[in-house]
Chains A and B, each alone.
Chain A
Amino acid sequence: MVQTVVAPVVTALLYLLIFSHVLEAHVEVYPGVSYSSFLVPGLVMMSMLQNAFSNSSSSLIQSKMTGNIVFVLLPPLSYLEFFLAYLGAAVVRGLVVGLGVWGVTLWFAPWQLPHPGWLLAYALLSCSIMGALGIVAGIWAEKYDQLAAFQNFLILPLTFLSGVFYSIHSLPVFWQTISHANPVFYLIDGFRYAFVGQSDTDPRLGLLVASACFVAISGLTLMLLRSGYKLRH
């Protein structure tokens, strides 16, 4: 509980304190939206993404390293059930952390939520994408450093280069184009739309991109699980 929920909430809180303190007075990304209000959805989403990912990836690699993965490989569970169980756990962890982060930020940024439907759709899809990606990473990695590499070279850059702390319209054109190729950008942008009612792109486009991502990654995960890759030798 402390490690899985409180720690990420504290981390997000630190980001909020530092960035909003430094930038609040100088930056207005969207007209009429304070920097704190802009930052909060990004932070909530970033925490959800990272925690959903680390939930499935670390529980898988831990079970593989200690060998107690046999307890879920021996029972009559199908690869689909296996997938749904790990995915469900990741989504729950992501949502709980997201709620926690959002909860504490209410002290610093005013409550607003014009589009709760978008919030729910984006939160569920984002946690699912990262949960599934975490399963892939957990299956593939044989050691903790391999998992860390996956996290440092893929997940972290994708989340940081996605407009958590800034609007990509403030970037040079080249980096804007790059950002548009980053699926996480759409997750954060659409999620932010639910909170502030403004975004860089149409939230419907983001939903399409996110859904496509989820389908693709789930397909890959199910394929790996079905083949028994690195789980059933």
Chain B
Amino acid sequence: MHAIRVSDLRKRFLTTQALDGVSLEIQQGEFFGLLGPNGAGKTTLISILAGLTRADSGRAAIMGHDVVSDYRQSRRALGVVPQELVYDPFFNVRETLRIQSGYFGLRHNNAWIDEIMHHLALTPHADKNTQSLSGGMKRRLLVAQALVHKPPVIMLDEPTAGVDVDLRRSLWEFISRLNREGHTILLTTHYLEEAEALCGRIGMLKAGRIVALDATRNLLRLTNEHCAQLRLDTEAVPAAWQSRLMRDPDGSWRINFSEYSDLEALLADLRRANVQVTEMRLQEPDLEDVFTDIMKRT
């Protein structure tokens, strides 16, 4: 049984085709990243899985439960951290979590509530009204709310937007732990280094279509755009390389290349022209390069 299964999902809002035939299967226990530029359809896909939006056609299921015909089971199996920073201004943190538990029919949930609050560093704020929380704390409360019913599948829609470095790190530690304990995680984010470090598999959406879907390490192999940064002891570079070498503001030179022989040729020409290389740094391709590449190509 798949944790998440989506087949040929389509959704149109007036003039925009938000999802244009998306099919996707995510195994239990995966840490899956859903990437894509603004308006690609990530939130729409999550909303359909959560039952907040209805698809025009296609099917979607959580842990084998269809999100429309078997919505009770599918929603019980799913925790969602929405992209929008929403909160109920009438309650404090602990009350919010108790009420949320109640919606799932959980009456005696205090031990688990205390544990989530602890892991999300919300314990000191337990009695604060949600309105008085800072943006990052509100975000963490949203994460906590998604977890009250211990869902096997957790979807986080840009959970780290506006969260500071420390909290981001502790949030990822907690989410990774949940993943190790067997929870399936689906994450959307615009921080690609985050996705690269965390996600075992990545799907990329563009204009409502999946344009890439593979293990993160396979995706990283897709591009061979390397980059070398050089510091030279002269201002003049050989004429043949002038079009390929770019000047950085700090005075160093940058070259993008796909074959190492390119770099070799450059170094040979520099030596022939008696130019000394005083410093050199190589950058391996990262997910950002792959992402940019794929978005350009498709």
Binds A, one of B78-86, B185-193, B275-283: B78-86
Query: Does A72 interact with chain B (Cβ within 8 Å)?
Result: yes
Contact B103 A75 (CB under 8 A): yes
Residue of A whose beta carbon sits closest to that of B71: A76
Binds A, one of B29-37, B49-57, B118-126: B49-57
Interface residues in A, total, Cβ within 8 A: 15
Establish whether residues B53 and A66, one from each chain, have CB atoms under 8 Å apart when the complex forms: no
Residues of B within 8 A of A73 (CB): 51-52
Q: Which residues of B contact A75 (CB under 8 A)?
A: 75, 100, 103-104
Majority-rule SS of B interface residues = mixed
Q: Does B253 make an interface contact (CB < 8 A)?
A: no
Interface residues of A in 11-61 (CB under 8 A from B): none
A: residues with CB less than 8 A from B are 66-68, 70-78, 228, 232-233
| Residue with the greatest number of chain B CB neighbours at <10 A, chosen from A71, A76, A233 | A76
Closest A residue to B74 using CB positions? A76
Please name all residues of chain B whose beta carbon is closer than 8 Å to the beta carbon of A70 when the two chains form the complex.
52, 80, 82, 86
The CA of A77 and the CA of B102, in the complex, are separated in Å by: 11
> Which residues of chain B from 269 to 296 have a CB within 8 Å of any chain A CB?
none
Cβ–Cβ contact A68 & B53, under 8 A: no
Q: Is the CB of A78 within 8 A of B72?
A: yes
A41 to chain B, nearest CB (A): 33
B72 and A76 within 8 A (CB): yes
Interface mask (B1-31 → A, CB under 8 Å = 1, otherwise 0): 0000000000001000000000000000000
The 3 closest A-B pairs by CB, nearest first: A75-B103, A67-B86, A76-B72
Contact check, A71 vs B52: say whether CB atoms are below 8 A apart: no
Closest to A85 in B: B103
A71 to B145, CA, bound (A): 9
Rounded to whole angstroms, the CA-CA distance of A107 and B19 in the bound complex is: 65
Interface pair B54/A74, CB less than 8 Å apart: no
Tell me if A's interface is mostly helix, strand, loop or mixed: loop
Q: Which residues of B contact A72 (CB under 8 A)?
A: 103
Q: How far is the CA of A128 from the CA of B78 in the complex (A)?
A: 33
Task: Report the minimum CB–CB distance from A1 to chain B (whole Å).
Answer: 12
Could you say which residues of chain A place their CB within 8 Å of the CB of B86?
Answer: 66-68, 70-71
Q: Which residues does chain B contribute within 8 Å of A232, judged by CB atoms?
A: 51-54
Task: Give CA–CA (A105, B165) in the complex, Å.
Answer: 61
B88 CB within 8 Å of chain A = yes
Q: Is B73 an interface residue (CB 8 A)?
A: yes
Asked whether, in the complex, the Cβ of A71 is within 8 Å of the Cβ of B53, the reply is no
In the complex, are the beta carbons of B54 and A228 less than 8 A apart?
yes
Closest CB-CB distance, B156 to chain A, in whole Å?
Answer: 13
With both beta carbons as reference points, the residue of chain A lying nearest to B146 in the complex is identified as A74
Q: List 9 A-B contacts (CB under 8 A).
A: A66-B89, A67-B82, A70-B86, A71-B86, A71-B100, A71-B103, A74-B51, A76-B76, A233-B53
- A76, B72: Cα distance in complex, Å: 4
Q: Are B52 and A76 in contact (CB under 8 A)?
A: no
In the docked arrangement, what's the CA distance between A75 and B52, Å?
Answer: 10
For B44, the closest partner residue in chain A by CB is: A233
Q: How far is the CA of A167 from the CA of B88 in the complex (A)?
A: 45
Contact of A74 among B73, B80, B84, B99 (CB under 8 A): B80
B11 to chain A, nearest CB (A): 9
